Structure 1
Amino acid sequence: MNLKRIFGAILTLLGISGLIYTAVVFSATSGSERDIKSLIIFGILGVVFFISGISLVKTTKDEA
């Protein structure tokens, strides 16, 4: 069991859930300052987690 791949998969799932939550907040937004701040924060965190998780899974070599 490769710990880096598992951690990469967890980061990827967190990133996907952050991006989905950003989409939900975006669809229900009324345009207030608080909504815009949460869109930016969750969107950036979702993208960072997603990209780091994908790159961690991609660059980790399989060892038997």
Structure 2
Amino acid sequence: MNLKRVFGSVLTILGIIGLIYSAMLFVNTSGGAKNIKALIIYGIIGFIFFLSGINLIRTTKDEA
């Protein structure tokens, strides 16, 4: 099993979790500055993890 693909899968899953958590914060936010900061931070980090994981999975070649 390729280590890069496993790491890409982990990054993708962490990105999905971050995006889901930021969506939950968005739905449950009351407008406080602390909630908005957390929403932006979790959303950006989740998006970066998701894109880097997908890119790592896509660009890694299978070697048998």
Alpha-carbon distance, 1:2 to partner: 0.1
Aligned residues: CA RMSD = 0.3
Q: How do residues 17-32 of structure 1 correspond to structure 2 at under 5 angstroms? A: 17-32=17-32
TM-score norm. by structure 2 comes to: 0.99
1:55 aligns with 2:61: no
Q: Tell me which amino acid in the other structure corresponds to 1:24.
A: M
Unaligned runs of 5+ in 2: none
Q: Which runs of 4+ in 1 moved over 4 A?
A: none
- The percent identity for this pair of structures is 64
1:11-49: per-residue Cα shift (whole Å, max 9, x none)? Answer: 000000000000001100000000000000000000000
TM-score norm. by structure 1 comes to: 0.99
